[in-house]
Amino acid sequence: MKYRILATSLLAFLAGGAVEAQELDITITNLTHGSHFTPLLVAAHPDSMHLFEVGKPASDKLQAMAEGGDISGLTADVDAAGGDKVANPAAGLLAPGDSTSFSLTTGDGNDRLSVVAMVLPTNDGFVGMDSLPIPATPGSYTFKMNAWDAGTEANDEIVNGGGTPGVAGIPLDPLKKNGTGGSGVAAADSNGNVHIHRGVIGDTDPAGGPSDLDSRIHRWLNPVARLTITVK
Amino acid sequence: MKTILMGAIILGLTACSSDSSDDNGTTPDITMNGYRIELVNLTNNQHLSPPAAMLHDGSFSAWEIGKPASDAIEVLAEGGNNSKLIMLQQGNPTFSGKGELLAGKTLSFEIGSSDDKLSHLTLATMLVNTNDAFTGLTNIDLSAMQSGDSRTFLTPAYDAGTEFNDELAAHVPGPVAGGEGFNAARDDVTGVVTYHAGVVSRDDGAADSALTQAERFDNPVLLVRITRL
């Protein structure tokens, strides 16, 4: 009996299956020790769309999000696809350890959930989930999210205000623990597609060295975020 | 001392109750609510301080992401001393390891109670070659487990957020450094419990670090297998 119940719920879960509208309560927690998230975009959408896809080149809109935290382009994409969204639920940056909770009502057919936000300070790193099948069975589900590299900007780790797509450098460190005068870590990304971020290097020299980031503060290990979905 | 004794008593009771024919009418039958816990240290060279385990009701959480660490967790995470954490559950079943759980080694013990309300597990231990890294589980509900059921957890390294990760020999208490353990000052950059970012080590550019490549780690750092007796 127990096995059958388990199997049934597992099937329902795997099927994703939620073709009808759903009420979701969502909590996202920044698990990192020294990295902020820029405004999150959380979207329920058909399986025909993606905010990003691993192993594929980033769209211009994803690049704008990953390099400068600008979610306006991706938000427009969700709207155009008839998706449902919550944009910027934390009303700004989500600090290390902090959580943001919100509700999302999904329309018919919007049975995939995606999440993106830039990880600061990085060149083009972002936390993300691509097209998670939204569980159909009421209950609480927890997932972990990794840090991705958009593959659009060299990870030079120079904090120079550069957040516009195509402009080298990191916009800022919200902790204000960055150094200056770094010579630059990477001149180019080897992988131009979306891939797992290799992490930042940093150094312990606040006035030089290869990086403007502090290796004792700005590194992380995966996972970098927790995603909890309560299906009502 | 008292808490060590308490752990020993629990082990003793477990040993009695494992013989199901030995019903003398005075020993609580902890197989009503008893568990075998196995811990495997998954790191390369992060010895784990004497692990603390405790059963409690669902109202206790030893730490929470985004919240400042309790004094008990700070003392454990900076110096490997589990006594304050165990004292928080005085009167409930607790266990303390007798020594460090070395990298690659397995520790197995039993913990239980005749009170089935004490169905939640908390377990914590320090990665001793760090400033304030720890791992474990807190407030895990075991009440749905049936006798013979087994659950396995792979736990991440947490940062207590109470000590800056300078990796200096003076501030890392483990055997590679021999520095200070607990210090009441709180000087970390964010001041709350988070996941740990890993250690840098002098082999990766932190010239004054007491750590080498050998002390680096990735998630997960501990395997926890729980079997209901």
**Which of A144, A174, A135, A150 is CA-nearest to residue A28?**
A144
Domain A2-151+219-231 annotated CATH 2.60.40.2130 = yes
Q: How confident is the model at residue B16 (pLDDT cuts 50, 70, 90)?
A: very low
pLDDT of residue A42: 98
Nearest CB partner across the interface for B66, out of A29, A34, A220 = A29
Over pLDDT 70: what percentage of chain B? 86
Give the pLDDT confidence score for residue A19 in this predicted structure: 61
Residue A39 carries which DSSP code? Answer: S
Asked whether the predicted pLDDT for residue A13 surpasses 80, the reply is: no
Query: Cβ contacts (< 8 Å) between A90 and chain B: which residues?
Result: none
Buried b (16+ CB within 10 A) or exposed e, A67-84: bbbbbebbbebbeeeebb
- Alpha-carbon distance values, B114 to A27, B11, B95, B108 (Å): 36, 14, 16, 21
Supply φ then ψ for residue A98, to 5 degrees. Answer: -80, 155
* Amino acid B30: pLDDT: 57
- Residue B149 domain flag: yes
Statement: residue B57 has pLDDT above 80: yes
Sign of CA dihedral A180, A182, A188, A189: negative
Rounded average pLDDT over A6-29:
68
Rounded CA-CA distance A78/A39 in Å is 16
Instruction: Give CA–CA dist B163/A185, Å, rounded.
Output: 28
CATH number of the CATH domain containing B181: 2.60.40
The per-residue pLDDT for B37 is 98
Residue B25 lies in a domain: no
Contact with chain B for residue A98, Cβ under 8 A: yes
Distance CA B41, CA B39 (A): 7
How much of chain A exceeds pLDDT 70, in percent? Answer: 92
pLDDT > 50? residue B1: no
**pTM of the predicted protein model:** 0.88
pLDDT of res. A128: 98
As a whole number of angstroms, the distance between CA B145 and CA B119 comes to 10
Closest chain B CA to residue A211 = B205
Report residue B3's pLDDT band, with 50, 70 and 90 as the boundaries: very low
Q: What is the pLDDT of residue B118?
A: 96
- By Cβ distance, the residue of B161, B197, B200 closest to A221 is B197
CA count, 13 A, side-chain hemisphere, B168: 7
DSSP string spanning B9-38? HHHHHHHHHTSTT---SSS--GGGGEEEEE
pLDDT value at residue A12? 46
Classify residue B28: in a domain, yes or no.
no
Q: B207 and A201: CB-CB below 8 Å?
A: no
Instruction: Give pLDDT, residue B31.
Output: 58
Look at residue B204 and tell me whether its pLDDT is greater than 60.
yes
Domain ranges of chain A: 2-151+219-231
* Domain enclosing residue B159, as ranges: 2-15+35-228
pLDDT over threshold 90, residue A59:
yes
B95-130 in b/e burial notation, b at 16+ Cβ within 10 A?
A: bbbeebbebeeebebbbbbbeeebbbbbbbbbbbbb
ipTM: 0.88
| pLDDT, tens digit (0-9, with 9 covering 90-100), for B64-121 | 999 999 999 999 999 999 999 999 999 999 999 999 999 999 999 999 999 989 999 9
B200 and A202 within 8 Å at the Cβ level: the answer is: yes
> Residue A3: what pLDDT?
45
Average pLDDT over chain B reads 89
Q: What is the pLDDT of residue A112?
A: 97
A129 close to A136: Cβ distance less than 8 angstroms: no
* Mean of per-residue pLDDT scores for chain A: 93
The H or E element spanning position A13 is helix A2-15
pLDDT in tens, A151-200: 999 999 999 999 999 999 999 999 999 999 999 999 988 999 999 999 99
B interface residues, A as partner, C-beta within 8 Å: 65-67, 156-157, 159, 161, 164-167, 189-190, 192-198, 200, 204-208, 218-219
The SS3 assignment for B95 reads strand
Contact residues for B211 (Cβ-Cβ < 8 A; gap 6+) = B129, B130, B167, B172, B176, B177, B199, B200, B201, B202
Residue B20 lies in a domain: no
Structural domains in chain B (count): 1
Residues B189, A223: C-beta atoms closer than 8 Å: no
What integer is the mean pLDDT of A12-29? Answer: 75
- Provide the pLDDT for residue B20: 37
Distance from CA of A64 to the nearest CA of B (A): 26
* Residue written as token pair 């204000």: A176
Residue B88 lies in a domain: yes
Check if A34 contacts B (Cβ < 8 Å): yes
Cα–Cα distances in Å, from A25 out to A40, A91, A96? Answer: 15, 17, 21
Under an 8 A CB cutoff, do A219 and B219 touch? no
Q: How confident is the model at residue A5 (pLDDT cuts 50, 70, 90)?
A: very low
Q: Do A97 and B208 touch (CB under 8 A)?
A: no
For the segment A68-80, the average pLDDT, to the nearest whole number, is: 98
The answer to whether residue A9 neighbours chain B at the CB level (below 8 Å) is: no
pLDDT in tens, A133-144: 999 999 999 999
Please indicate, yes or no, if residue B24 is contained in any of the structural domains.
Answer: no
Q: pLDDT-based confidence at A20, cuts 50/70/90?
A: confident
